[in-house]
Amino acid sequence: MTTTQGIVISAEQRKRARSVGITYLVLAAVCLLVFTRRAGDAGFKIGESSQFTLPAQGFGWALGIVLVAVAAGQLLRGYGKLSNVVLALATAAFFMSFLAWAAAGDSFSFVGMLQDTVSRSVPITLGAIGGILSERSGVINISIEGMLLAAACTSAIGASLTNLWIGTLVGVLTGVALAAVLAVMSIRYKVDQVIVGFAINFFALGVTSFVSFRVLVPNRDTMNNLLPVMPIRIPLLADIPFIGQILFDQTIFVYFSFVAVALATWGLYRTKWGLRTRAIGEYPRAAGTLGVDVNKLRYRNLLLAGAVAGVGGAWWPIGIVGRFDQNITNGRGFIALAAVIFGRWHPVGALCGALVFALSEAVRLKIGNFDTGIPSEFLIMAPYVVTIVVVAGFIGASRAPKAAGQVYEDQ
């Protein structure tokens, strides 16, 4: 397009621009009415001994007024190409104001919270990559949750009985096994993919709950007791102030998830395998008539998705908690699917989505320590509320792979 003046916008874009403007007004109202209620300075620790402080009340007033101005600009004129940048900055500032309000008169480890965010994003990211691999190949995979949960259970047992490596491997194999069920049922027997996914989720929940009660609780010390992996400091990189501690003083699971995102991106967009995978997810018959074996590739990609989700499941016992508890995943697999949509079926986008959801969880854990008056039940809801708001409000209509959910039959 070579339009030099006046960008053509559709009715839908206009509607979205208006609702973003109204969102700014709502945020401004919250700043002015709520965040100015608590006096005192909030301390944000950003290193071993360094911290910065924000005056909760003053910051709330200032940001509230700025947001009103931003809203006026959005509603009257719009920001054109900058509108996403403005949205991101406003959201970040609002978030800081919220933290300042919550921690007014106290201090907390800001860097620790972000470090925790990155760690907690692992299962969501890996689950999302599993989802992307499946849906890009044209198979809807809502059983990520079941794969995470089952892999968490088996890897806990495997790691308790042998070592962490074998435990992780057992988790991977569990993910692959469940993916194989999904693949055979949906590809070979053409069962509705969503129904199979549901069945796998409930199967995983039921079996792991049973194992947890009947096997793991009585044999707590031998079968469900392990020492999780320790963080690995990457020399030099970990010494970068602030960033270093967040990104490069983490467990191997975190590094694996970064590598998985990079590999998945490169694979999908820069390789022969990726071209074929995207083709069979969009228009399988086109690939089929060119001699690509559509269903074989779907089998392979689903098994790969199961393996990646298996690593994500192993994160709970081996990466952080040190044991398996009943329903330990608690819906993270579904949040991973939200991250897939958030990221528009792109691995890097899904990573961003996973970080947003993990952040809301990390914040909840920190805020719980302050006396903010927010009931803890509401804080526990936070990740799910964020999911709904983000997916419904900000993503808008995004385009799923066209053939997702459709059976492919050779003629």
Partner 1 sequence: MKFELRGITKRFPGVVANDGVNLHVSTGEVLALIGENGAGKSTLMNVLYGLYRADEGELLIDGKPSHFSSPADAIAAGIGMVHQHFMLVPVMTVAENVVLGVEPTGRFGSLDIDEARRMVREVSDKYSLELDPDAVIEDLSVGVRQRVEIVKVLMRDAKIVVFDEPTAVLTPSEILEFFEIVRSLVAAGRGVIFITHKLKEALSVADRINVLRRGKVVGEALPKNTSESQIAEMMVGRAVQLVVDKTEAVPRESMLDVRNVTVVEPDGRVVVDDVTFEVRVGEIVGVAGVQGNGQTELVEAIAGLRRAASGSIVLGGRDITTDSPRERHEAGMAHIPEDRQRQGLVTDLSIVENLVLTRYHDSEFSSGIRMKWDVAKTRAKELVAAYDIRTTDPAQPASTLSGGNQQKVIVARELSREIRLAVAAQPTRGIDVGSIEYVHAQIVKERDAGRAVLVVSTELDEVMSLADRVLVMYRGRIVADVDPKKVSHMDIGLYMAGSRPSGAVA
What are the DSSP calls for 325-361, one per residue?
Answer: -TTTTTTHHHHHHHHHHHTTT-HHHHHHHHHHHHHHH
What are residue 111's phi and psi, to 5 degrees? Answer: -65, -35
Distances (CA, A) of 355 to 85, 110, 114: 18, 15, 9
Binding residue (CB under 8 A) for partner 1 from 32, 181, 275, 321: 275
> How far is it, in rounded angstroms, from Cα 23 to Cα 13?
15
Q: Which is nearer to partner 1, 220 or 402 (CB)?
A: 402
Please, what is the minimum distance in Å from the beta carbon of residue 349 to partner 1? 16
* From 45, 233, 285, 300, residue interacting with partner 1 (rule: CB under 8 A): 285
69/286 with CB nearer partner 1: 286
CA angle at 252 for the pair 251 and 254, rounded to the nearest 5°: 75
Q: How far is the CB of 342 from partner 1 (least distance, A)?
A: 19
> Which positions from 233 to 272 touch partner 1 by CB under 8 A, shown as an x/- string?
---------------------------------x---xxx
User: Is 288 among the residues that bind partner 1 (CB under 8 A)?
Assistant: yes
Q: Do residues 336 and 124 touch, judged by C-beta distance below 8 A? A: yes
Considering only residues 290-319, where is the footprint of partner 1 by CB under 8 A? 290-293
Q: How far is the CB of 13 from partner 1 (least distance, A)?
A: 9
- In the complex, what is the shortest distance from the CB of residue 87 to partner 1, in angstroms, rounded to a whole number? 22
Cα-to-chain-centroid distance, residue 246: 17
The span from the CA of 271 to the CA of 130, in Å, is 18
- Residue list 1-60, contact with partner 1 (CB under 8 A): 10-12
**Least CB distance from residue 296 to partner 1, whole Å?**
11
Residue 215 CB contacts under 8 Å (≥ 6 apart), including other chains: 223
Q: Which of residues 320-379 bind partner 1 (CB under 8 A)?
A: none
Scored b (16 or more CB within 10 A) or e, 339-351 reads bbbbbebbbebbb
Binding residue for partner 1, selected from 287, 356, 379, 390, defined by CB under 8 A: 287
Contacts of 283 (CB under 8 A, 6+ apart): 402, 403
Judged by CB under 8 A, how many residues of this single chain contact partner 1? Answer: 28
List residues near partner 1 by CB under 8 A.
10-12, 266, 270-276, 278-279, 282-283, 285-293, 399, 402, 410-411
